[in-house]
Structure 1
Amino acid sequence: MDEAEPADEPFPLLIAVTPSPAERIRLAERLEGIAPLLLVADLDELRRLIAAPSQLPGPPPAAPSEPAPATATDPALVIDSNRSTARCGPREVDLTRLEHDLLTCLTTEPVRVWSYAELHRAVWHDEGRERKADVQSLVKRLRRKLLDLGTNATIEAVRGVGLLLTDRQEPRIGRA
């Protein structure tokens, strides 16, 4: 077959979606040589990569390393993993590695309540320690940064269960 001709059979491609950089590295190492591999952090990133340019409305999307610019009225919280920053509208804050990993973890499943042990394992990557005080200290710093951003997102404690990322604008049953 001539190299310029397209293949008659479908192109084998493995696609893995995981927010964890460590998990993407592990998958790349384990699946090396099996087939071409596309590793993405979330489904939105996958959609941007596979969408045909003619199907995208408006101007072409920003490069994956650059998140789309937020407008002054954009209430969305944007996490830039490449620069380790969080942005809401025109405001931006730097994140430490631990803050970035915690915020990324909480945003992967926004309606899930994460236990302190799950968050500790996801952020610190050590199975045996699982210290609640580590998570609480990190959450306190991250809440302050979210407040500085002016975003409606915050981290709330669910008594006896753990933590979740919520929107302060959402009405809560039983709250005044």
Structure 2
Amino acid sequence: MTTDDPNATLPGADPPGHHFSLVIGVTPSPAERLRLTELLDGVAPLLLVADLDELRELIAPEREAVPAPPATRESPPDGALVIDAARSTARWEGREVPLTRLERDLLACLTAEPVRVWSYAELHRTVWHDAPTQRRADVQSLVKRLRRKLDELGTGVTIVAVRGVGLRLTDHRRPGVRGG
């Protein structure tokens, strides 16, 4: 349906003067996101994100390229995985992949102590900044995405499960995992 009348209302359209409402919830806690979903069901369309970085990515996904930081006095050794926290990327031998805030924080946590085995509760507390839940699904889902990105880089670095304990970072080729 088309019309030349500026005051005409299309079927299904908001009436003149009515503004579209959208509720945006920002919380790293899956339990809190579920609670918000239940509280606001039917009130308005709801967008839930874990953090402001995720919201910014949804609102403006085509960001300008951020120039690489100037070279430091100490450059990483060849074959080192470098996590650039400022740009939220992982770099290896000239290749780079973007990381979400959660992926970046998990990788930074694991690279801080590469031989340490982290429990799911420790990772949840460190990455999501809330009390650990009994659900491992959050951590496992994040690990799955991060493994895929590390594999995409061709690093040989991956996250392995240590049965009954938790997760740790492993370099199948050689040591040289470093946070930046």
Write the distance in 2 (CA, Å) between the matches of 1:137 and 1:124.
13
CA deviation string 1:13-44 (max 9, x = no partner): xxxxxxxxxxxxxxxxxxxxxxxxxxxxxxxx
In the other structure, the counterpart of 2:114 is: 110
In the other structure, the counterpart of 1:81 is: 85
* Aligned amino acid, residue 146 of structure 1: L
State the TM-score, normalized to the length of structure 1. 0.55
1:164 partnered with 2:168 = yes
Q: Which has the larger radius of gyration?
A: 2
CA contact (8 A) 1:70 1:90 kept: no
Write the distance in 1 (CA, Å) between the matches of 2:70 and 2:90.
13
Using the aligned pairs only, state the percent identity.
Answer: 69
Give 1:117 deviation, angstroms. 0.6
Write the distance in 1 (CA, Å) between the matches of 2:70 and 2:148.
25
1:87-106 aligned at under 5 Å gives the runs 87-106=91-110
In the other structure, the counterpart of 2:155 is: 151
Write the distance in 1 (CA, Å) between the matches of 2:102 and 2:71.
21
1:22-41 aligned at under 5 Å gives the runs none
Write the distance in 2 (CA, Å) between the matches of 1:128 and 1:164.
18
CA deviation string 1:36-80 (max 9, x = no partner): xxxxxxxxxxxxxxxxxxxxxxxxxxxxx5465979x93110000
* Aligned amino acid, residue 115 of structure 1: S
Size of the aligned set, in residue pairs, is 106
Unaligned runs of at least 5 residues, structure 1: 1-64, 171-176
Unaligned runs of at least 5 residues, structure 2: 1-68, 175-180
Of the three residues 115, 127, 130, the one matched with 2:131 is 127
Write the distance in 1 (CA, Å) between the matches of 2:75 and 2:94.
7
State the TM-score, normalized to the length of structure 2. 0.54
Instruction: Name which structure has the greater RCO, CA cutoff 8 Å, separation 6+.
Output: 2
Write the distance in 2 (CA, Å) between the matches of 1:92 and 1:76.
12
1:141 partnered with 2:145 = yes
